[in-house]
Structure 1
Amino acid sequence: MSFQTGVGPRTAVVTGAASPRGIGFATARRFAVEGWAVVLLDLDEAGAKSAADTLAQDHGVAALGLEVDVTDQESVRAAAAVVAASDLPPVGALATVAGVASPVPFLEVDLAEWRRVVDINLTGTFLACQAFLPAMIDGGYGRIVTMSSVSAQQGGGVFSKTPYSAAKAGVLGLTRSLAREMAPYGITVNSISPGVVDTDIRAGATDAENEARLAASVPLRRQGTPDDIAALIAFLASEDASYLTGTTQNINGGSYIA
């Protein structure tokens, strides 16, 4: 199976893609199922390489796993250079999934925690977009999907608190402005805004009772799954979504209706 756009096969780049239970890996897997070549970027080099090997073996697509610190400009640029020099098809999609949670109450947040959360969630999105956009412009096809959160829209209220909500709100502003700048190139930029999703992002800071409470708070009475989110990201990366740009796609089971 080979993914085809009007200009040929393409590669999808996904940040934060190593965790087997994460949205990033589910997204890379969905791209692979649809025939895209995939690049999995993660701070966990062994995990990224293992995940890429799994996708290549299971779905018969070209896959590359690379170690990347999304908060470090040189690290992100180096990854983009490796991808550009590889035998992979041109980059046609970027999903900036890498992120961290932060349940720390506002008056207990120190500057180090603030910077950690903003750097990974917001600055990491900026750096990835800036590093991979030139290849999309040159290749004539581009879809960027950023990862925000319902917490940015309703001011927390799920798990993470102010630093996370602020960073994810910043992602929405970045997405909308970048969509305007990239529109003349035919490149779309959209954001996903999930509600509570069953991943390991809350690992070590929650328990079964809290997870059940989160599910019960959703009108559809369940948490989202990584595959729910991955399906929407793949659609936004497709040719069918060519007239959608600058949007925030709410996917939250009805917990926030705008």
Structure 2
Amino acid sequence: MEEAIQEQLLSLNRSFYITVAAHFDQTRQGWTPGLARLLQWVPPVPADRPLRVADVGCGNGRLAALLDTLGQPVEYTGVDGNATLLARAQDRAASLRHTRLHLIQADIARPDWTASLASSPGFDLVCCLATLQHMPGYNLRQRVMRDLARLTAPTGRLVVSSWQFLASDRLVARQLAWEQVGLTAADVETGDALLPWRQGALAVRYVHQIDAAEMECLAQDAGLVMVDHFRSDGKEGNLNLYALLVHRNAGHGGPANTPHTGTQSSAERP
């Protein structure tokens, strides 16, 4: 993808989240069945220190609230480019009993976004949920995946999720023509789409479907192995792909804990 087109789509999404941030926050108050299921992938850590977590694309920090239900000390670093959503994440801090928040405003599309994160000895768990899908161009997704891999401790785990909107006829029917933003289908990649938001405000965002095959390619390019994955969420029950990745030389770390249910929002749209 040409750099100018890539930047145009990134700008579109930055404007999207500025427009819908408050409404987006209201639709992300609980957690979906897929998010709740992620607790089985939380790695064990020594009893004398907290679990170190980086939530990249953290939005309003609801993952911190989910991790808090584990009842163990958690050092949570949330990264997001939107100031409004980070403020909503900070509002959660007072209600958390076991989780300490550290929030960073950074745009992961920028090459230097990891500069303000402590990366040594790395995070036990790095999550990038419904965020990599908004990076236009395979080369950019590849670079961000490599960044995520560097943040993950050698024996840590990386969880990435992606919206599988092409699996839904109703979502496919909602796609907008590229001409609405001055582009054509020839300017973008297979799996790219423009989708509207109509919950409290009208806005358009760019999204790319990272299916299991692309997820494996991105993992391989970053020196990672996809050791587990599942699909969950949405009206159809399969609209998000969740993938567990580990460093290639770290062995295949599987689920650590039993699933946890808690508060869910099963009809949520990504």
Which residue of 117, 128, 147 maps to 2:161? 147
Higher helix share: 1
Deviates more, 1:169-178 or 1:10-19: 169-178
Which residue of 88, 109, 127 maps to 1:95? 127
One-letter amino acid of the counterpart of residue 67, structure 1:
Q
1:71 equivalent to 2:106? Answer: no
Contact (CA 8 Å) 2:159, 2:244: kept in 1 or not?
yes
One-letter amino acid of the counterpart of residue 102, structure 2:
L
Q: Secondary structure of 2:99's partner?
A: coil
CA distance 1:243–1:62, change in 2 (3 Å): same
Query: Take 1:236 and 1:55, find their aligned partners in 2: how far apart are those partners?
Result: 27
The equivalent residue for 1:83 is: 118
The equivalent residue for 1:13 is: 54
Percent identity, aligned pairs only? Answer: 12
1:33 equivalent to 2:80? Answer: no
Q: Secondary structure of 1:62's partner?
A: strand
Query: Take 2:138 and 2:65, find their aligned partners in 1: how far apart are those partners?
Result: 24
How far the C-alpha of 1:95 sits from its partner, in A, is 1.7
The equivalent residue for 2:92 is: 54
The equivalent residue for 1:242 is: 253
Matches within 5 A, 1:153-168: 153-154=167-168, 157=171, 161=175, 163=193, 167-168=207-208
CA distance 1:12–1:236, change in 2 (3 Å): same
Contact (CA 8 Å) 1:122, 1:171: kept in 2 or not?
no
The equivalent residue for 1:175 is: 215
How far the C-alpha of 1:145 sits from its partner, in A, is 1.8
How far the C-alpha of 1:167 sits from its partner, in A, is 4.9
How far the C-alpha of 1:169 sits from its partner, in A, is 2.9
Higher strand share: 2
Query: Take 2:167 and 2:136, find their aligned partners in 1: how far apart are those partners?
Result: 19
Contact (CA 8 Å) 1:31, 1:37: kept in 2 or not?
no
How far the C-alpha of 1:67 sits from its partner, in A, is 0.5
The equivalent residue for 1:133 is: 149
Query: Take 1:237 and 1:30, find their aligned partners in 2: how far apart are those partners?
Result: 20
Query: Take 1:50 and 1:253, find their aligned partners in 2: how far apart are those partners?
Result: 22
The equivalent residue for 1:199 is: none
CA distance 1:42–1:171, change in 2 (3 Å): farther
How far the C-alpha of 1:60 sits from its partner, in A, is 3.1
Contact (CA 8 Å) 2:142, 2:221: kept in 1 or not?
no
Normalising by structure 2, report the TM-score.
0.48
The equivalent residue for 1:22 is: none
How far the C-alpha of 1:94 sits from its partner, in A, is 1.9
Query: Take 1:17 and 1:70, find their aligned partners in 2: how far apart are those partners?
Result: 11
Normalising by structure 1, report the TM-score.
0.50
Q: Secondary structure of 1:142's partner?
A: strand
CA distance 1:99–1:156, change in 2 (3 Å): farther
Q: Which has the higher contact order (CA 8 A, sep 6+)?
A: 2
Query: Take 1:54 and 1:31, find their aligned partners in 2: how far apart are those partners?
Result: 12
Contact (CA 8 Å) 2:128, 2:161: kept in 1 or not?
yes
Query: Take 1:55 and 1:159, find their aligned partners in 2: how far apart are those partners?
Result: 39
Query: Take 1:237 and 1:33, find their aligned partners in 2: how far apart are those partners?
Result: 23
How far the C-alpha of 1:64 sits from its partner, in A, is 0.8
Query: Take 2:137 and 2:93, find their aligned partners in 1: how far apart are those partners?
Result: 25
Q: Provide the alpha-carbon RMSD of the alignment.
A: 4.7
How far the C-alpha of 1:66 sits from its partner, in A, is 0.6
Cα distance per residue 1:190-242 (max 9 Å; x no partner)? 5664553xxxxxxxxxxxxxxxxxxxxx468xx99xxxx8xx97x9599xx93
**Alignment length (residue pairs):** 182
CA distance 1:219–1:126, change in 2 (3 Å): closer
Query: Take 1:195 and 1:6, find their aligned partners in 2: how far apart are those partners?
Result: 29
One-letter amino acid of the counterpart of residue 114, structure 2:
R
CA distance 1:61–1:170, change in 2 (3 Å): closer
